Amino acid sequence: MNAPDHFQTAGRLGQPLHGEVVIDTHGHLGHSPDFPIVRPTAAALVASMDRMGIQLTCISSIPAIFGDAEHGNALVADAVQAYPDRFFGYLVMDVGYPDKVAAQLARGLAGDFRGLKVWSYGARTGLPYNHSNYEPVFAFAQQHALPVLAHVFGPELDELEGYIKKYPRIRWLLAHIGSAELEKYKRFAREYPTVWVELCLSSCPRGLIEHLVAAGLEDKVLWGSDAVFLDQASQLGRVLFAQIPVSAKRKILGLNARRALGLEPGK
């Protein structure tokens, strides 16, 4: 093993990273109907970010992805207003109620939201991404060149591929690489300039990040935590302690996210 770099040292000491761009591309706020979460609030998440040196967390609302978009999105809007430099808001749409979607999208973009979050049926009963109700959502994202964070756990990749080809102005963040269909995630990241793959996953497959870097994908991998479902610290440690060059850690922890989210300085 090589001598520890300063990412590893900060992790071992439990100290925040300094002088690095660290962006969590996949976070949430709010309570879950599935299991209790202690203090799933904006203030608690900012405290977590400060403990680790995370500048920005991109959040969607847990109540919104579980079917209450109106109230759920309001949680995220409040957080963005309270901490405009610390949160990037993903809007969630009520895709099951297509009459509501156009107004939700217009209101969200005019307000506090800079991207969209979609959460399809892999995790629950619901509409697959290739259902016609998603068409206006992705058409809107194309029109406004928005980033879209898509929950993916395998089969959703096929549902999304047509949209990836059809809507080249959307920047796609495909979540949970390592869950299933690893080769397909890698193919998407290689083949489509608008696709990035995102890391958060509770099972933390050993060697995954090393594998992706060795496969030449260090410009296409994004760090995300799935906070407040998961702790940011455990997911951050996967990158801090990965056996990859420091330059690749920098890309994965923040530099790639700047591009995927349209946050490059001067833009």
Minimum Å gap between C-beta 97 and Zn ion is 22
Q: Which is nearer to Zn ion, 181 or 226 (CB)?
A: 226
For the packed helices 182-191 and 156-166, what is the interaxial angle rounded to 10 degrees? 10
Q: By CB under 5 A, which span of 49-57, 122-130, 161-169, 223-231 interacts with Zn ion?
A: 223-231
CB of residue 196 vs Zn ion: minimum separation in angstroms? 15
Query: Least distance (Å) from Zn ion to the CB of residue 181?
Result: 17
The pairing of beta strand 87-91 with beta strand 171-174: unpaired
Total binding residues toward Zn ion, as defined by CB under 5 A: 1
Stretches 83-91, 102-110, 131-139, 219-227: which one binds Zn ion (CB under 5 A)?
Answer: 219-227
Read off the amino acid at residue 28: H
**In angstroms, how far apart are the furthest CA atoms of the chain?**
58
Strands (E), the chain: 23-29, 56-61, 87-91, 113-119, 147-151, 171-174, 195-198, 221-222
Angle between helices 42-52 and 69-82 (to 10 degrees): 50
Task: Report 35-64 residues binding Zn ion (CB under 5 A).
Answer: none
| DSSP SS3 for 36 | coil
Question: Closest CB to Zn ion among 213 and 228?
Answer: 228
Smallest gap from residue 69 Cβ to Zn ion (A): 15
73's tokens: 């999105």
Q: Which two tokens stand for residue 89?
A: 């808001």
Given the rule CB under 5 A, which of 120-128, 190-198, 221-229, 254-262 is the region that contacts Zn ion?
Answer: 221-229
CB of 190 to Zn ion, least distance (A): 24
Strands 195-198 and 87-91 come out as: unpaired
Between residues 102 and 123, which has the closer beta carbon with respect to Zn ion? 123
Minimum distance between the CB of residue 152 and Zn ion, rounded to whole angstroms?
Answer: 11
CB closer to Zn ion out of 20 and 156: 156
According to CB under 5 A, which residues from 131 to 170 bind Zn ion?
A: none
Tell me which amino acid residue 18 is. H
| Best CA proximity match to 89, nearest among 77, 101, 97 | 77
Task: Considering the complex, state which of residue 150 and residue 244 has its C-beta at the smaller distance from Zn ion.
Answer: 150
| Interface residue with Zn ion, options 92, 226, 248, 249 (CB under 5 A) | 226
Q: How far is the CB of 159 from Zn ion (least distance, A)?
A: 17
Strands 171-174, 147-151: pairing kind: parallel
DSSP 55: -
Stretch that binds Zn ion, among 99-107, 179-187, 222-230, 232-240 (CB under 5 A): 222-230
The answer to whether 133 and 127 have CB atoms below 8 angstroms apart is: yes
68 contacts Zn ion (rule: CB under 5 A) = no
Q: Which stretch binds Zn ion (CB under 5 A): 48-56, 78-86, 178-186, 220-228?
A: 220-228
Residues that bind Zn ion (CB under 5 A): 226
